[in-house]
Amino acid sequence: MFNNAGIVDPNKHRIIDNEKADFERVLSVNVTGVFLGMKHAAQAMIPSRSGSIISTASISSYVGGAASHAYCCAKHAVVGLTKNAAVELGQFGIRVNCLSPYALATPLATKFVGADDEGLESIMSSLANLKGVTLKTDDVANAALYFASDDSRYVSGHNLLIDGGFSIVNPSFHMFQYPQS
């Protein structure tokens, strides 16, 4: 089962400008929705003592400042739910994992950033660590297929970062920057 639904709140960078109702709406969909998806998938999978539950988290669950407060909080919660459910459901042979993609051109991301697909890809490529490659929806789909397949039969409780190395770089350090890179 693939939990792949989510919403964002209005793009307000300062916590003091955020509204409680917006925060709660994002958590309701992005956390409670994932929880309910996991719950009902587990109910269906426990009798067969096998299965794979996959949820979409975000690179925002790993690095600060990559999204709004509500979205970041929600995606951290998805990682926590994934780990907790993996511990509980492992006894039934059920694997539980999540994917944390870097920003890619989806309607959700383009609306949040206020750019079209090409503009978003240009922005994200300029910030990316891995140059010459742009994250596409197929990359995330292939990661989900890996978690759904027997190729990952001994992988559970994992948060797979699909970020081209973005999360390993502190952009304030330019130690390894080549003059013409």
Query: What is the rounded average pLDDT for all residues in the chain?
Result: 89
Superfamily of domain 2-167: NAD(P)-binding Rossmann-like Domain (3.40.50.720)
Q: Which two tokens stand for residue 17?
A: 């400008």
Asked whether the predicted pLDDT for residue 172 surpasses 80, the reply is no
Identify which has the larger pLDDT, 141 or 120. Answer: 141
Report, as residue numbers or ranges, the catalytic residues.
Answer: 71
pLDDT in tens, 156-167: 999 999 988 888
Is the pLDDT reported for residue 16 higher than 80?
Answer: yes
Per domain, the residue ranges of the chain are 2-167
For 43-84, what is each residue's pLDDT tens digit? 999 999 999 999 999 998 888 776 789 999 999 999 999 999
Kindly list the strands in the beta sheet with 94-101, ordered across the sheet, starting from the edge strand earlier in the chain: 2-3, 51-56, 94-101, 159-162
Q: Where are the alpha helices (H) located in the chain, listed in sequence order?
A: 20-27, 33-45, 69-89, 107-113, 117-127, 137-148
Amino acid at 100: S
Is residue 5 classed as helix, strand or coil in its secondary structure?
coil
pTM of this prediction? 0.88
**Dihedral of alpha carbons 10, 84, 135, 3, sign:** negative
